Amino acid sequence: MSIPSYKKYQEIISHKLQLAFGQEVQILQAAGYLASTLTHQGWVYSFGTGHSHMIAEELFYRAGGFARVRALLVPELMLHQSATGSTEAERKEGYAQHLLQDYVLGPEDVLIIASNSGRNAVPIELAQLAKEKGAKVIVLTNLRHSKSVSSRHSSGLKLYELGDVVLDNMGEIGDAALALEGLETKVGPTSTVVSTALLQAICVEATSAILANGGQPEVFNSSNSDQGSAHNEGLIEEYKKWVSML
């Protein structure tokens, strides 16, 4: 009896998650950066282009997620306005500086950048700009894919070369991981599933670290629970003036 394709995909995901969570040193280091940022009233910035914008959005206004988050969700770099247009935009040198024009990054802040290939100009330049300001940069990427391609930036750099800590989503070259008979192209991408799990692992570890040191992180509740809306109203009132998307 043949194994159903969904089961094969489940096995792939389970294996990649096991590998990804084996990055204990990197997870703890990234969590330490987040804990320090939140303890010192810094900001957690998140960014991703194309499908990686989902990783950036995962941190923002999330049940169980931190309130001090500024997600750089730029329509031109996402998919809902123009998918092909976003591909072109993320390759433009000089574009990244516009993403930070309304913010003042500093040494107390951390920027999380998700990019599967890590080869395009906008994520690379955003990391460079953040490092110039003294902010810590956490990179979520696919090292196997990134190391198999050339940089599209004039510096020749790729994103993983700029991170203070780099977390590998353990993906395949091209992201899709499952080959099916009769189809030349693989299906079943894994980057979103694994990257999201890694991101939340970092957040829960950071929360534990803050609590262990006597702190109390500001965390959103579910707005769809009976108590959640009332809990969140206070956070929204406090942070709306700093985070316009709230």
> Does residue 142 carry a pLDDT above 90?
yes
Q: Do residues 152 and 119 touch, judged by C-beta distance below 8 A?
A: yes
Using CA atoms, how far apart are residues 221 and 232, in angstroms rounded to an integer? 6
pLDDT digits (tens, 9 = 90+) for 10-44: 999 999 999 999 999 999 999 999 999 999 999 99
**Which band of pLDDT confidence, cut at 50, 70 and 90, is reported for residue 117?**
very high
CATH number of residue 155's parent domain: 3.40.50.10490
pLDDT digits (tens, 9 = 90+) for 43-92: 999 999 989 999 999 999 999 999 999 999 988 878 888 889 888 878 88
Q: Which residues pair with 46 in a beta bridge?
A: 71, 112
Residue 11 lies in a domain: no
Q: What is the pLDDT of residue 178?
A: 97
Residue 119 lies in a domain: yes
**Torsion sign over Cα 141, 147, 153, 154:** positive
Give, in order, the Cα–Cα distances in Å from 62 to each of 59, 109, 219, 246: 6, 19, 8, 11
Using CA atoms, how far apart are residues 99 and 193, in angstroms rounded to an integer? 26
* Reported pTM: 0.96
Residue 244 lies in a domain: no
* Helices then strands, each counted (H, E), the chain: 8, 7
Q: What is the pLDDT of residue 225?
A: 86
Using CA atoms, how far apart are residues 167 and 195, in angstroms rounded to an integer? 8
Residue 14 lies in a domain: no
Using CA atoms, how far apart are residues 207 and 150, in angstroms rounded to an integer? 37
Residue 15 lies in a domain: no
Residue 23 lies in a domain: no
Share of residues in the chain with pLDDT > 70 (%): 100
Residue 157 lies in a domain: yes
153 or 1: which leads in pLDDT:
153
Residue 104 lies in a domain: yes
Q: What is the pLDDT of residue 1?
A: 74
What average pLDDT does the segment 189-209 reach? 98
Q: Do residues 169 and 16 touch, judged by C-beta distance below 8 A?
A: yes
Domain range for 70 is 40-215+223-239
Total domains present in the chain:
1
The full DSSP string for 99-139 is GGTT----TT-EEEEE-SS--SHHHHHHHHHHHHTT-EEEE
